[in-house]
Structure 1
Amino acid sequence: MKSKLLYILLILFTFSVTGQISPIQVTKSSIEKDSKKDTQLMFTADDGNGGFVTARLFYGGIIKSPKGYYIEHYDSNLNVVQEYEYKIDQSSIKSMFVADGQLKLIEYKHNRDDKTNDYNLLSSSLSKLNFSSKKIFSVSRKDVKKPFFLAVGFGISNLDQVDHDPTGEVYLSENRNYITFNFDIKDDKEETHLVKVFDNDLNLVFENQFKQKGVKDALFIYNSLTIDDSNGDVFFLGKLYESKRMKKKGKSNYQYKLYKLNADGTKELSFNTEENFVGSMELINNDDSLICVGFYSEKNDFRYKGTVYYNLNKENFTVNNSGFNPFTEQFMVDKYGEKRGKRKKEKGKELSSLKYRGLHIDDSGNTIFTAEEYFVKSHTNYKTGHTTYTYYYNDILACKINSSGAMEWARNINKAQKTSGNAVDYYSYLSTVKNNRVIILLNGSDKVKKMRDDRIRFDDKRVKKLSLYAIEILPNGDFNYEQVINNDESKVTYKVSEGVITDNYDSVILEGDKGRKKRIVKLTL
C-alpha cells in the first residue's frame, strides 16, 4: 500500500437537500490531489459494512490509452482504508463484486503464447488488497470474432458483424448469484453465440452454444441479455432480418427473436412488431417479470413515435401483455410548449436521436424507461483535412408503463448541452428508481432557464461552473427539481454519466474532479 495511506484521512461532510424533492443525504470526502489525472469510474461494489469499493480506469501517454485500474476501498464515512493499482498487461477488468468478505475481479487476459482469451478470477481480502489469481476458463482466439482495422483513414471493415464486446461480455445477475459470459463465435455460415453461466463460487452451471440455422451474421443483430437471479436462466434478445434490406414493400423486414437458455437447452420465441418499425429493444427482469421495451416508429428504424412494450411469462415463455404507446400530449407540450406541442401531437410528430440510458422496474411492477436526445455532428476543414466532432446531450425522456402495457405518463426534461469532447464525462445524466420515484441526476448552469408555458431548461456552462441537480418524478408523473451541490461550494464537478448505483439501490456514487483535485460523493436517496 502506498505510503500516503499513513496520513490521508478524508473529512466527512454530510447534509441534506430538502424542499421540493424528497431529502437526499449528501456525504462527501475531502478534496485530495489525485495521482491519476485522467480516470473513469468503471465499477463499485458494496462491502457489506456500509462502505464500498471503486475501480477507476486511468489513462496515460501522449495518445491517451488505458494503463490500469485504481482500486479504492472506502468505509461508511468515506475514509480510504485500502487502495491498489492494477496495471493493464494485455488485460482488462470485466466485472467486480464482493462475496464472503472477498473482493473479486473478473479479468480478461490475452494469452499470446497459447493464442487464447483467458478469463480469471482475482480474489483478495477486503482487509488487505493483495490479489491471487485463478483461471476460470479459456476461449481460443480463432473461435471468437474480433474487429479488424484497415489502414488509417479506411475505418473498420467488419464492425457491423461483431456483436458488442469482442473480448466477451460479462453480466452479473441482480443479487450477484450468477455470472454470465457471452461471446460472438466466428462462423462463416451461421450466426453463433456461446453463453457460459457460473454461480458466484465460479462453478459452471451450464454452457450453451446456439446457432441461427441458415442465418449469417449480417442478418442477425444482438440487442440485449438479462439473467434470472433465482435460477441462472439467461434471456437473449436479437433482431432477425429476412434480407439485407431494412424495408420490404414499405414495411419492416425483420422479427425479434427471444431465447431462453438454461441447462435443459434452448427455447425460442418469435414476435413481430405489428407492422411498426422498432430499431432496437432492451431486456430487464425481476422476480416476477421479464420485460422487453424500446421505441417504435411508423416511418423507419431511426424515428420514434412512442414506446413498445412486451411483458413475458418467464416460466411458459409466452407474451402476457404488450403495447405500442405514442408519446403523450403532455410529453409533447413539455418539449415544444403548449400550442406547438399540441399541434405536433396532432400531426404525429416523430422524434430522432434517442439513446437508452435507464431501464427500471419499480416496486409495483411498472417499467420506468429513460432516454436521451443524443447525437454527434462533424465538421471538416478541407484546407487542413482536420475533422472536429461536437457531441450533443439534449432533452431527457422519462416514461412509465404499467404491467398491462399501457403508458401511464411520459415527461420531457428540457436540456441543452454540447461539447467538442472535453466535457463528455460531465454531461448526460444518471437515472434510478427509489420507492416508485424516478431520480435523475444531471449537471447544469447555476441558473435554470425559464421558458414559455411554465417550462424550464437545464443548460450547459464551462465545466468548472457546473452544479449538480436532482430531478424527482413522482408516481403520478409530476416532477420537481433541486440543486443538490453548488459548484462554488463543491470545488469539483461530478461525472454524472459515470455514476454508479449501489447494490441495494439506496445510494449513488459519483466521482468529481477539477484538474488534479478529486472528491467522491455518496448521495443517499
Structure 2
Amino acid sequence: MKKIIFSALLCLNLLAATAQDIPCTIQKSEVFKDEYRDSYIKSVEDDGSGGVVIGRNFYSSQNLYGYYFEHYDANMKLINELKYAPEDTQVAGFFIKGDKIYIIEFNYDKANNAVICSGSTANLSDFKFTKKVLFSLTKKEFEAVSFFQNFRMTPVVVTNSSKTAFCVSTTVNDAGLGKKVHKVHIYDMDFNLKISHAFKTDTNERDFRRENIQISQDGTVAYFLNNTEKPDRQMQKTGGKYHYELIRVTANDVKTQVLETNEHIATSLKMIFKKDVLACVGFYSYKNERKYSGICYFDMDPVTLQVKTSKFNTFTEQFMAEKYGKDKDSELKQIHTIGMQLNDNNEIVVNAEETDTETPSTFSLRDNIIYAKLANNGDVIWARSINKRQTAYGLETYTSYTPVFKGNETFLFINTSEKPKLGNYEKVQFFQKAGREGGLTLIRIKDNGDFDYKNLFEYSKNDVPFMVSKGGITKQGNSIYFIGSRDKKKQLLKLTI
C-alpha cells in the first residue's frame, strides 16, 4: 500500500507541472484545398536541403483513387506537386529516396492475358516518369478479374531501412490447384533483379502484411513472419492452438523456423534487427483465456534461424495498477504493436495500443497506450500504461497516436481536450471530447519509463485538426509530419524534436 501511495504522489507531481521545457519546433504549411476530402500521409523523405517530399494517397467514395506527391522547402512552402492517378493500373506501393520517386504498379495486359508488374521513377524537379517491366504473372497464377475488383491477393511492397533495395511480395495460385504460393522479387534501386523465389506456407492469412516483412541491408535476404493455425494442434489437450513461423528467403533457398509458444498464444508479433540477432516482440495470453497476460520475446540467429532466447514476461503489478487502478483483474483486449526501436544500449523500446469499445452506440473508446523497455536478454525492464479515453464518431485517424524515437526517449503525439487526471492508485488518464476537438499534446517517455507532457496548441486557434495516427517520420527521426483536414480544407504540420 505504501508503494502505491508513493507512486500516486509521484503522479500528482507530474500533473501539477507539465513539462514546458520539452523542445519541439512547430511549422505549418499554408491552408489549401484538395480535390478529394479523404487523404492520408503514406511517406515522407528529406530532400537534403531542409525541405521534404510528401506522398499522400487520396480516396474517392471510400475507394483508393490516386496519390499526391508534394515537394516543400524548409519553410513549408510548396515547390512542386503531382497528382498521380493512372487508369487501369493498381499502385502496389511507392517510396521516396533523395530526389527521386519510385512507384511499383500492376496492370492487366489483355493481349497476353497476364498481369504485369512495373517500376516507374521520376526526378522531383520535373516528375517525368520512366517505366521498366519487372515481372509478369500468368492468368493461372493471378486471376485478373479478382485482382482489380477486390484485390483478393494484394501485392506488398517493402524497402529495407536504408532504401537500397525493395521487395515485391505477391500471393498467387499454384497452377490452379487452389494452393497459395508466395512469390518474392527483390530489386536494387536501379530495378536490377537480385532475388526471385517462390515458397509455400501453412499460414491462414490471405497474404503477408507489410509490417511483417523485413529486408536485409544488402538486399540479399527477405524475412517473413506470420501466425499459422494447424488443425492437428486444435485437438491437443495441451499446447497452444496458434504459433508463429519465421521464413528466411534467399535466391537459393527457403528456411522456416516455428516459434513455439506451448501453453501461450502470441499475437501482434513484430520483427526488429538487433546487433547479432533477429528479434520478435509481441504480446501473449494463456490458452482458453480471453485476455493478455504479458509481453513475449524471441530472438534467432539471422542465418540459421535457430531460436536462442524465448521469454514470456507477465505484466507487472505496477503496470496493472497504472492501467486499471484498484480493479487489477480487468482484462486487456485488442492490443496491437505500433512501433519498436533500439535505443543506444541495444535495448528494445516497444509502443502498443489497446482499444476497448465500451459503448458502441456512442463510440467511446479506451485507447490505452502501452510502452515497455526490454533488456538484451528479453527481460522486461519496465512496462508502463497511459490511459486515454476518446470519442471517435468514425474519426479514428484523430485518435490513436504516432511514436517518434530519438536517442533513449520516445515522443508520442495525441489529441486531447483536457489536462490529464489522476484516478485511483497510479492511474493517469488523458481525455478527449471528440476526435476533432481539443488540442495537440506531446508526451515524452524517458529512458527510465517516467513520462511528462506538453500541450502544443489548441484547435480552437487552428484551422484544422490533425490526424495523429497517420504521421510520417523522416529518416533522421527528428521531424514528424501530420496532415490536418476539415472536409476538403487541408494543412500540413511539421514538428521537430
Report the TM-score, using the length of structure 1 for normalisation.
0.82
Aligned to 2:159, which of 172, 179, 182? 172
**Alpha-carbon shift at residue 318 of structure 1 (Å):** 2.1
Q: What aligned pairs does 1:49-128 form with structure 2 within 5 A after superposition?
A: 49-60=49-60, 63-99=61-97, 101-128=99-126
For 1:497 and 1:219, locate their aligned partners in 2 and report how far apart those are by CA, in whole Å. 25
Q: Which residue of 1 aligns with 2:367?
A: 394
Aligned to 2:227, which of 190, 215, 239? 239
Q: Any idea what the Cα deviations from partners look like across 1:458-499, whole Å, max 9, x if unmatched?
A: 222234423111111111111111112221232211111111
Contact 2:159 2:166 survives alignment (8 Å): yes
Q: Any idea what the Cα deviations from partners look like across 1:359-418, whole Å, max 9, x if unmatched?
A: 222232212222212256897xxxxxxxx8947451111111122010011111101123
Change (3 A) 1:138 1:418: farther
| 3-state SS of paired residue (2:318) | helix
Contact 1:21 1:480 survives alignment (8 Å): no
Aligned to 1:362, which of 343, 354, 358? 343
Q: Any idea what the Cα deviations from partners look like across 1:95-147, whole Å, max 9, x if unmatched?
A: 33344632222223344554433222222221122323222222234313799
For 1:133 and 1:373, locate their aligned partners in 2 and report how far apart those are by CA, in whole Å. 43
Contact 1:311 1:403 survives alignment (8 Å): no
> Bigger CA drift: 499-508 or 187-196?
187-196
Is 1:227 the counterpart of 2:215 in the alignment?
Answer: yes
Q: Percent of aligned positions with the same letter in both sequences?
A: 29
Q: What aligned pairs does 1:142-161 form with structure 2 within 5 A after superposition?
A: 142-144=140-142
Q: Which residue of 1 aligns with 2:259?
A: 271
Contact 2:41 2:483 survives alignment (8 Å): yes
Contact 1:147 1:166 survives alignment (8 Å): no
Is 1:211 the counterpart of 2:182 in the alignment?
Answer: no
Question: Which stretches in structure 2 are left out of the alignment for 5+ residues?
Answer: 1-17
For 2:152 and 2:409, locate their aligned partners in 1 and report how far apart those are by CA, in whole Å. 33
Contact 2:415 2:435 survives alignment (8 Å): no
Change (3 A) 1:19 1:277: closer
**Alpha-carbon shift at residue 74 of structure 1 (Å):** 0.9
Q: Any idea what the Cα deviations from partners look like across 1:278-314, whole Å, max 9, x if unmatched?
A: 2352212255441111111113485310011012221
Change (3 A) 1:468 1:147: farther
| 3-state SS of paired residue (2:476) | coil
For 2:52 and 2:495, locate their aligned partners in 1 and report how far apart those are by CA, in whole Å. 13
Contact 1:43 1:95 survives alignment (8 Å): no
Q: Which has the higher contact order (CA 8 A, sep 6+)?
A: 2
Change (3 A) 1:377 1:207: farther
Aligned to 2:186, which of 184, 197, 200? 197
**Alpha-carbon shift at residue 179 of structure 1 (Å):** 0.3
For 2:55 and 2:26, locate their aligned partners in 1 and report how far apart those are by CA, in whole Å. 21
For 2:274 and 2:48, locate their aligned partners in 1 and report how far apart those are by CA, in whole Å. 22
| 3-state SS of paired residue (2:231) | coil
**Alpha-carbon shift at residue 221 of structure 1 (Å):** 8.2
Change (3 A) 1:365 1:107: same
Is 1:413 the counterpart of 2:386 in the alignment?
Answer: yes
Q: Which residue of 2 aligns with 1:293?
A: 281
Output the amino acid matched with 1:26: I
Aligned to 1:351, which of 332, 337, 344? 332
Is 1:502 the counterpart of 2:474 in the alignment?
Answer: yes
Change (3 A) 1:439 1:516: same
Q: Which residue of 1 aligns with 2:322?
A: 334
Output the amino acid matched with 1:182: S
| 3-state SS of paired residue (1:497) | coil
Aligned to 2:463, which of 491, 503, 512? 491
Change (3 A) 1:441 1:21: farther
Q: Which residue of 1 aligns with 2:7?
A: none
Contact 1:430 1:496 survives alignment (8 Å): yes
Output the amino acid matched with 1:426: Y
> Bigger CA drift: 315-324 or 217-226?
217-226
Change (3 A) 1:494 1:206: same
Output the amino acid matched with 2:153: P
Q: Which residue of 1 aligns with 2:131?
A: 133
Question: Which stretches in structure 1 are left out of the alignment for 5+ residues?
Answer: 1-17, 150-155, 380-387
Change (3 A) 1:37 1:110: same
**Alpha-carbon shift at residue 178 of structure 1 (Å):** 1.1
**Alpha-carbon shift at residue 205 of structure 1 (Å):** 0.5
Q: Which residue of 2 aligns with 1:382?
A: none
Q: Which residue of 1 aligns with 2:32?
A: 32
Contact 2:242 2:266 survives alignment (8 Å): no
Q: What aligned pairs does 1:377-456 form with structure 2 within 5 A after superposition?
A: 390=363, 392=365, 394-421=367-394, 423-453=395-425, 455-456=427-428
> Bigger CA drift: 474-483 or 227-236?
227-236
**Alpha-carbon shift at residue 435 of structure 1 (Å):** 0.6
> Bigger CA drift: 277-286 or 434-443?
277-286
Change (3 A) 1:199 1:165: farther
| 3-state SS of paired residue (2:93) | strand
**Alpha-carbon shift at residue 327 of structure 1 (Å):** 0.9
Change (3 A) 1:32 1:218: closer
Output the amino acid matched with 1:362: N
Change (3 A) 1:135 1:473: same
Output the amino acid matched with 2:467: K
Q: Any idea what the Cα deviations from partners look like across 1:324-343, whole Å, max 9, x if unmatched?
A: 10111121111112x433xx
For 2:271 and 2:452, locate their aligned partners in 1 and report how far apart those are by CA, in whole Å. 29
| 3-state SS of paired residue (1:201) | coil
**Alpha-carbon shift at residue 319 of structure 1 (Å):** 2.4
Output the amino acid matched with 1:72: E
Count of matched residue pairs: 475
Q: Any idea what the Cα deviations from partners look like across 1:64-98, whole Å, max 9, x if unmatched?
A: 43332122111122110001111242334333334
For 2:95 and 2:163, locate their aligned partners in 1 and report how far apart those are by CA, in whole Å. 8
For 2:244 and 2:437, locate their aligned partners in 1 and report how far apart those are by CA, in whole Å. 45
For 2:215 and 2:136, locate their aligned partners in 1 and report how far apart those are by CA, in whole Å. 22
